[in-house]
Structure 1
Amino acid sequence: MMRIKKAAVYCLGLLAIVGSHSALSDTSKRGCSAYVIPYMPYSATSSQIIYVSRVPASWVGEGKDETGDITVDAIDNNGNLYDLGVVAQAAPNSVTKITSQISTALESKGFTGGKVSLRIQVENPENIFAYVSYNAGSVRGYVDVECVK
């Protein structure tokens, strides 16, 4: 019979709690030429949370710490394409919230509500990560960001 110490049980319990949240599925992989957000709702009762971070090259052991433009394209549920252009810059060692810039750019193109898919591209994409979630009424959703190599 194998005995498990209390510390090991605690660690396993903590892993179960963290694993049930699935936090890693909310972030993208590093080194992508683009990041695709397959689903994002826009309405009077929804809010979006979109961050792009450029971690220090020393954290991952490769790449350079460079600034780069963040550009976004969108397609809505009616098939309309939107070139939103440059919405912000990803500076070295920074976290950039691009939620309001995307929303404002969509509105300026005539999009007022519905569902969109977004493609985010970052100039000098080394060491970039993206985080995406939303609140729609009482539903909070985490979006798996797809990495395009």
Structure 2
Amino acid sequence: MIIERLAVEDVDAVADLFDAYRKFYHQPSDIPAAKQFLKARLLNEDSILFVAKMDHQCVGFTQLYPTFSSVAMKRAFILNDLYVAEDYRRHGIAEKLMEQAFQFAKQHDARSIALETGALNTKAQALYEKVGMEVETDVKHYIYYW
């Protein structure tokens, strides 16, 4: 397995996987829009995307979005997306992708990586705790949709 940072010219190689990730969250399939979205994120330097490859095929990815901590006066990252193709799960790929994300954040002197997951997503929660992430219990997360 190889984990590498995705370059904009390689977006086509991960588009199907990104589309599968969106379908997992009950979104309609739209490969052209997936390619466009990912290309825009990378061209605008809005995100950092790492892919896991096996046999020259993308089998997993994670996407980090940069932000900042005003209190710490440091960069921080949101781990917004983590997905491994169903046939490749339970082989440590997600853990390796997270380790790569942590390493990247540390190299860029970030204060933290944060993520959110569904309250019932116990498999993901077990992974996050295995790699050393902690549940914050002293804050509440609010969101406004329109």
Same fold, TM-score > 0.5, yes or no: no
Q: Which has the higher helix share?
A: 2
Q: Which has the higher strand share?
A: 1
Larger Rg: 1
Category of TM-score, reference length = shorter chain = under 0.3
TM-score by length of 2: 0.28
TM-score by length of 1: 0.27
